[in-house]
A and B are shown apart, each in its own frame.
Chain A
């Protein structure tokens, strides 16, 4: 059984989803129907944050969003952070900061963390460490121990402030 078609705006582009199944998540639709595998699928219960996207501006776990219920909403995925349509570069400030700080190890948590850090810096251009830790508390990394991720957040915050001044 498939549901009615519905529209989403993903990274600024209108898309239409046909033949969706009633219970499928936004994460599934992004990865399997729209060819956007940047958002990662790990826990499927909102614990790990690796599927984080912006939905009408809010940072959410796309695994917990019923895709059809997001009809007509604006979705931004990690592919939408960079300046080009296909996400192939040039890299956004948060992406450059993660590379430069060595905050990427296996890389699985990175897309979700990039989305969380980008959301944080949109609200708080100069966040303190506690604010940063709370902002990324929903994104699990099992490789790095978070030290270099925290460095990357500082670096990204500096880049963004300097770009604005």
Chain B
């Protein structure tokens, strides 16, 4: 058991024993340990490393420490800068889970239902990894490589996640059997980049990895009235929903059917678009 106090301590402990288990918030790991699905012997706890806590702003980018908790991301001061991430963080588990679970843990677990992942893929987030041998940066789609699979190699830690501040509307939605304590059946993040004149859509729980709805993004980006600020037409909203649904690659499982997931991401796409831009006949939000 090592309770690391600095990043160098943690990297050294992992270099000495690359098979050691990394413990951050524990909200995923301890479930496996309690069930007996995972036996842990040597543990490196990384929840007391100041370098992994909090966030910093550099111009129009945020460096989010891997140890930032869901509760911290849902805090209004942070959520105002990356609203979709704040909204997504607030939907995770319960207050008890949000107090300890971290963005780095969501990435390390790399579950298809990880609620931060559709937001991070929509934001083109970049993950910084560190080991005693150095550091490297991976875009999100190269970091999450499959169902609960990521690009971390032995001895490596997630250190920060870099996301842009986009100065446009952002929305996150997820569907589950009830409001609280729900694992996503399907989730969607929509972020608008007014400077780049793009609408970006990330999908969760509808494929082994978080997806972008590229065709839908290109279509709606070309139809938005970027200078006038008017809302998209109902025809555009319908078409957008259809293209987002087409982008999903869902499966049937115990949480929902593929057909339902495909349908519901289309509906969420339309609703988030209307929330971001308003509807024909009313002022933009």
Contact = CB atoms under 8 A, between A and B. Distances in A.
Interface of A: 1, 3-4, 22-23, 25, 44-47, 49, 52, 58-61, 63-66, 68-69, 71, 116, 119, 134-135, 137-139
A92 to B, nearest CB: 20
Contact of A138 (B29, B97, B179): B97
| Residue of A4, A22, A66 most packed against chain B (CB within 10 A) | A66
B180 interface: yes
Contacts of A3: 1
Nearest to A73: B48
A23 B26 CA distance: 11
B26 A69 contact: yes
A45 B31 CA distance: 5
Contacts of B95: 59, 116, 119, 134-135, 137-138
A154 B33 CA distance: 38
B30 A63 contact: yes
A22 B33 CA distance: 10
Nearest to A51: B96
A65 B26 contact: yes
Given A22-B43, A64-B30, A138 B93 contact: yes
B1 A69 contact: yes
Nearest to A4: B1
B132 interface: no
Interface residues of B, number: 29
Given A23-B39, A23-B40, A138-B96, 8 more contacts: A52-B96, A58-B100, A59-B99, A65-B30, A66-B29, A66-B43, A119-B95, A137-B95
Interface string B99-118: 11000000000000000000
B99 A69 contact: no
Contacts of A61: 27, 96-97
Interface in B149-188: 179-181
A25 B47 CA distance: 16
A64 B1 contact: no
A68 B30 contact: no
B274 interface: no
B34 A63 contact: yes
Given A22-B43, A69-B3, A44 B27 contact: no
A69 B23 contact: yes
Contacts of A58: 99-100
A3 B40 CA distance: 12
Contacts of A49: 94, 96
A60 B96 contact: yes
Nearest to A53: B96
B43 A71 contact: no
25 contacts: A22-B1, A25-B30, A25-B34, A49-B94, A52-B96, A60-B100, A61-B96, A61-B97, A63-B30, A63-B34, A64-B25, A64-B97, A66-B26, A66-B29, A66-B43, A66-B45, A69-B1, A69-B23, A69-B47, A116-B96, A119-B95, A137-B180, A137-B181, A138-B97, A138-B180
